[in-house]
A and B are shown apart, each in its own frame.
Chain A
Amino acid sequence: MKVLTLPQALPRALATEPTWIDRWDYGLLASALFLAGLGLVMVASASISIAAREVSDPLYFFWRQAAYLGFSLAIGAITLGVPTRIWQRLGPVLLVLGIVLLALVLLPGVGREVNGSTRWMKFGTLNLQPSEVMKVFLVIYLAGYLVRRTEEVRSRLGGFLKPVVLLSIIAALLLLEPDYGATVVLFATALGMMFLAGVPLMIFLVWVLVTVSFFACLMLAAPYRLERLMIFMNPWSDPYGSGFQLTQALIAIGRGEWFGVGLGASVQKLFYLPEAHTDFLFAVLAEELGLVGVVSVISLFAFIVIRAMQIGARAEKLGAPFCAYLAYGIGLLVALQSVINIGVNMGMLPTKGLTLPLMSYGGSSLVVSCLCIAILLRIDHELRAGP
C-alpha cells in the first residue's frame, strides 16, 4: 500500500469528493471503542478476586466479556451495512418481538431469577436480558411511529396517548420482573423523543405530572420502599444495612483522589463492594484511575450524546425525520443510562440495577450498546452520502 505524505494527501482530499472511507464519524467510533476497551480492562481488574473465589479462575469474567465484545463488534460491523430504512420497516416487528421476549422471561422455567429479579433468559451458555433489547427496539419503533403520525402527535392528544398506552404495557411487564431502572430509562427516553418530536407542551407537562404522581403514589403506598429508595440521601445512617453498597461505592470513589490508586490496586473490589464488575464498575474505575479517569469517561459519554444530538439535528435539517428521531432516541438512551448509572455510583440517585453502557460486564448490555453506536454511525454515514 502506498503511503501518502501530507502534501500529497491534502490536495487530493480537498480536490475530490469524499470517498466511502471518509464518510464515517471516526471521532464517535474512537470514543465508543475507547470506552469499550477501557470497560474490558476495568471488568478484568474489578472481577479478578471475585472470579478467583467463585469460579476459581481469576480471568473468568474477563474472557467472557472479551468474547461478548468480539460478538458485539461483529454485530456492530454488520449493522453499519444495514440501511436505516430497513430499521424503519422492521420497527413494528421488533416491537412485537421485544414484548414477546419480555413476556417470555416472566414465564416460570424460562426466566432466570437473580437477586429477586427475573431478568434473564438462558440460551445455552449465554444469557439474554430482554429489557436491554427492548430499549433499542422501542426507540426504533417509536422513531417510525413519530414519522408516520407526525401531525397527529403534534396536534392531537390521541397521537400522544397511543404510544403512552404501549409504553404502559411494556412498563407493566418490566415492573413484573421487576426492573425499575429499565422502566425509568424507557419511559424517560420515550417521553424525551416525543418531546423532541413536538408533542404539545401542555399535554406533555400534564403527562409528566401524571407519571410523577403515579410513581409517588406507588412509593407512598409502601413506605418501606420509599425508605429504602431514599437511603441514598444519607447512606451513612445505616452503613452496614441498606446503605452498605452505596457507602462502599463512595469509599471507593473517595479513595481515588486525582489519579487513583493505580490500575488493579483497588481495595474495595476485594468483596467490600458488591457488583463491582457490573453495576458498580464505575466506582472501581474511580478508585483505580481517580478524578482523571472519571472526568475522561464522563466526557466521552457526553461527547457521544452530543454527537447523537448533532446527527439527529442534521438529519432533521436534511429531511430524514426517522433518522433524526432514531438518533435522538439513541442519544437519550445512552445519556440516561450512563447518567443514572454514574449518578447511582456516586450516591446522587437511588440505587437501581442499571449497567453502564459499553463498559459494564454483561453480554446483552454490550451488544445493545454497540448496536446503538453502529446505528448512529450508519445514520451519520447516510447523511454524509447525501439524500
Chain B
Amino acid sequence: METRIENPVIWRRLSVVAILLLAFSGLVWRAIDLQLNRGEFLQMEGNARFLRVMKVPAHRGKILDRNGYPLAISTPVDSVWANPHELHPKGARFNRLVTLLGLDGRQLRRELEARKDREFVFLKRQLDPGLAERVMALGIDGVYLQREYRRYYPMGEVAAHVVGFTNVDDTGQEGIELAFEDRLKGTSGSKRVLRDRTGQSVADVEPIRAPKAGQDLVLSIDKRIQYLAYRTLLAAVKRNRARAGSAVVLDTRSGEVLAMVNQPSYNPNNRSDLVGSRFRNRAITDVFEPGSTAKPFTIAAALGSGRFGTDSLVDTSPGYLEVGKYLVKDIRNHGKIDLGTIVQKSSNVGASKIALALPPEELWQTFSRFGFGQVSGAGFPGEAAGVLNHYFEWGDVHKATLSYGYGISVTALQLARAYAAIANDGRLSPVTFEAANGKVKAARVISEEVALKLRRMLETVVTSGGTGTRAQLEGYRVAGKTGTVRKVTPSGYSEDRYVALFAGMAPMSSPRIVTVVVIDEPNAGDYYGGQVAAPAFAEITQGVLRLLGVAPDDRSLPLRQASATVPSRSVMERIQSALAQLKLPPERHAPEATR
C-alpha cells in the first residue's frame, strides 16, 4: 500500500478526535462536579422547591346535645388558593376556572396583580370536595387546594342562638362556639410532603407535628326540648304579631339549660343570613323590667323578714296608692287581701305596701340573693347583668315600684334562674350550658319553708281566679306568675307597647323544670302575660314533662298518660271533650292551701 506524504489527514484527524475526546471528558468531569461535589447544594435547592411543610388541619370538637345528638359538626371541605407568581391569569383554562368558581375574571386578575408580591391568595374558600376536584382537573399551574373544615349546624336556626357559629377560619364568633373556643378548637399539625409542580402532594416525607383534634362538648340542651320550645315560641310570636320573643327551660336542680330559644332567629349554615340583630341571644343579652313576675321575690322578702305571714292581711283599697307624686294602681279594688291573693291577683298596691313596710336593705338583699343584677355564671358571651340599684339610692317610689318589678331590669335567663331557686326549695344553682355531671353547688337564698309557701301562692295564680289560668297543664300541677310590663320609651312608660311574661315551674309537688316565656311587643290585640305568654308556657312545659317522663302529680283529671297503651281515638276525643266541658279545672287540694 502506498503512503501519501501530501495527505494531511492524519494529524487533522487526530486533532479532531482529541478535541472530541476532550469534550466528552469535559462532560464527565462536569457530571462528577455536579453529582458528587455540588450534589448537596443542588439537593437543597431541589428540596426547597418540592418539599413543603403542609398544615394538617385538626378537627374542631363536636357540640352535642345532652343525649349525644350533634348540634355542630365539622365536615371536610377544600379551599382553592393560588400562587400569583405561578398563575398566569389568561387563556381558556383560566376562564374555565373563573366560571367553575363563580368569580369575576377581571376582578380576580386585578386582585392577583395587586398581590404579586405574595405567594398565597385564596381564590375561593370551602368548596364542596367534588367541585374542588374538578378545579384541580383543569391542571392550571399555581392553583392549589387546602383542606379545611367547615362547621355544619344540623339544627339550624332552632339552636342557633345557643350554639353560635364560627367564622371561615373555624374560630368561634358567637354563643357556645365562642364561649368554649379553647376546648373546641383543635391544634393543627404539620407534615413534610413531596409536591409535584402542580401542587399535588405525591408522597408524605415525614410527619412533623400530629394534629390534635378539639374536644367534643356535651351541652345541657336537649334537642327535643329545644325544638319544642322553638316551635312553640315561633307560633306564639307569630300569633301575637310580636316584635321578638324568648323562652328558657331550666332544670331546677342542676341549673342546666335544657332549652333556650329566641325570635327572630337565623340560619347559622347560611352566612348571608347573619345580618342585623337576628343573631342576638335575647334570652341572655336583652334586659327588660320583670313587672309582676318580680312580686314573688317581694313576698319572699316579706316572709323572710318575719314581719309578714301567709295569712297577714294587707289593705289594698281603694285600689290605688299615692307614693310621693306617683300613683300605684291596681286593676280594681281588691280590698283586704292576704299575701297569696296579692300574688294571685297581682296587686301592685299590696306589693308596694309590703315593700314600704320592709327595711330597704332586706328587700335589696333578697333580690340580690336571687341573682338579680349579676351575671348567671354560665359564661355565655355577651350576657347582660341587668340592673338592681343599691338601696342607698332608693327612695319610697323606687322601693314601691321595685316591689312589682319596675326600676329593675333582668334577663330571661336571670328570671328563670331565680324561679328555679323557688322551685329548688330555696337553693340557687349556677346556670350551666354544659351537661352537669355530679353535684351542683347551690347557695341557699331563702328557707325551704318560705320556698314552699311561695310555690303554693304561685299555684293559685294558675287556678280559677288567678291571672294565669291559661298556664294550666294536663296531669300536672303548675306554679307560676304572669307579668305584663309597659315598655320604657324616650317619653316615659309606653301606653301601647308591652312585654308579656310568664315564669313558672312544674310539676308543682316536686318541680323539675322552670320555664320562662317572654313575648316582646305583642301586637295582635292581647297583651297580658296571662293571655300571650301563659299558653306558650303551658305548651312548652307540658311537652317537656312528657319528654322527660315526669310522673303526673295531678290526679284530679283523667290522664292521657294513665294507660300504658295508646288510647284509641274515641277515648282521646272523650277525654278532650270532657276537658273542654270542664272549662275550669277542679280545685287542687293541698293540705296547706292558702285560701
Q: List residues of chain A with CB under 8 Å of any chain B CB.
A: 49, 53, 154, 192, 195-198, 239-240, 247-248, 250-258, 267-268, 270-272, 286, 290-291, 294-295, 298-299, 301-302, 305-306, 309, 312-313, 316-317, 328, 331-332, 335, 339, 342-343, 346, 348
Contacts and interface: CB of A to CB of B under 8 A. Distances in A.
A176 to B, nearest CB: 28
Interface in B51-73: none
A268 B49 CA distance: 10
Contacts of B12: 195-196, 198
Given A196-B16, A198-B8, A271 B34 contact: no
Contacts of B8: 154, 198
A271 B197 contact: yes
A53 B17 CA distance: 44
Nearest to A195: B12
5 contacts: A240-B85, A251-B42, A253-B42, A306-B21, A342-B27
Contacts of B20: 302, 305, 309, 331, 335, 339
B206 interface: no
B31 A271 contact: no
Contacts of A250: 34, 42, 45
Given A53-B139, A335-B20, A253 B198 contact: no
B196 A302 contact: no
Contacts of B17: 306, 309
B50 A294 contact: no
Given A195-B16, A270-B202, A312-B13, A253 B34 contact: yes
Given A256-B35, A270-B197, 6 more contacts: A196-B16, A254-B35, A286-B34, A291-B35, A316-B9, A335-B23
Chain B: interface secondary structure?
helix
B524 interface: no
B31 A346 contact: yes
Nearest to A271: B197
A251 B49 contact: yes
B392 interface: no
Given A294-B35, A298-B24, A301-B24, A255 B46 contact: yes
A202 B333 CA distance: 138
A49 B8 CA distance: 53
B502 to A, nearest CB: 68
Nearest to A270: B196
Nearest to B23: A339
Nearest to A306: B17
Contacts of B23: 335, 339, 343
Interface in B332-361: none
B26 interface: yes
Contact of A251 (B21, B31, B46): B46
Contacts, number: 128
A301 B272 CA distance: 69
A50 to B, nearest CB: 10
Contacts of B43: 251, 254-255
A259 B24 CA distance: 20
Contacts of B32: 291
Nearest to B194: A267
B35 A286 contact: yes
A309 B36 contact: no
Contacts of A331: 20
B39 interface: yes
A316 B14 CA distance: 14
Contacts of A328: 13, 16
Contacts of B194: 267
B11 to A, nearest CB: 11
Closest 6 CB pairs of A and B: A254-B42, A270-B196, A271-B197, A251-B46, A302-B24, A294-B31
B27 A298 contact: yes
B30 interface: yes
Contact of B36 (A251, A258, A267, A298): A258
B47 to A, nearest CB: 9
A195 B17 CA distance: 12
A343 to B, nearest CB: 6
Given A198-B12, A251-B45, A286 B36 contact: no
Contacts of B36: 257-258, 291
A254 B39 contact: yes
B38 A346 contact: no
> Size class of B's contact patch?
35 or more
A195 B39 CA distance: 40
Given A267-B46, A342-B27, A257 B9 contact: no
A49 B139 CA distance: 12
Nearest to A290: B35
B196 A271 contact: yes
Given A53-B139, A195-B12, A317-B1, A253 B49 contact: no
A331 B9 CA distance: 16
Given A198-B12, A305-B20, A313-B13, A257 B35 contact: yes
Interface in B166-220: 194, 196-198, 202
A309 B13 contact: yes
A243 to B, nearest CB: 11
A272 B196 contact: yes
Contacts of A339: 20, 23-24, 27
A254 B27 contact: no
Nearest to A317: B1
A350 to B, nearest CB: 15
A137 B325 CA distance: 122
A290 B31 CA distance: 9
Nearest to A331: B20
A295 B46 contact: no
Contacts of A256: 35, 39
B26 A348 contact: yes
A254 B46 contact: yes
A291 B34 CA distance: 9
A252 B46 CA distance: 8
Interface in B113-134: none
A272 B27 contact: no
Contacts of B198: 53, 271
A251 B43 CA distance: 6
B28 interface: yes
A267 B50 contact: yes
Contact of A291 (B16, B31, B139): B31
Nearest to A319: B1
A154 B202 CA distance: 62
Given A253-B34, A256-B35, A348-B26, A49 B196 contact: yes
A198 B175 CA distance: 95
Contacts of A257: 35-36, 39
Contact of B28 (A251, A295, A335): A295
Given A198-B8, A250-B42, A192 B26 contact: no
Contacts of A295: 28, 31
Contacts of A53: 139, 198
A244 to B, nearest CB: 10
Contact of A255 (B1, B7, B39, B196): B39
Contact of A196 (B13, B30, B41, B85): B13
A240 B142 CA distance: 13
B30 A346 contact: yes
A339 B22 CA distance: 11
A198 B46 contact: no
A250 B34 CA distance: 7
Contacts of A342: 27
Contacts of A286: 31, 34-35
Given A271-B196, A298-B27, A339-B24, A346 B34 contact: yes
Q: Which of B16, B17, B45 has the most CB of A within 10 A?
A: B16
A298 to B, nearest CB: 5
B96 to A, nearest CB: 16
A356 B283 CA distance: 79
Contacts of B24: 298-299, 301-302, 305, 335, 339
Contacts of B30: 343, 346, 348
Contacts of B13: 196, 309, 312-313, 328
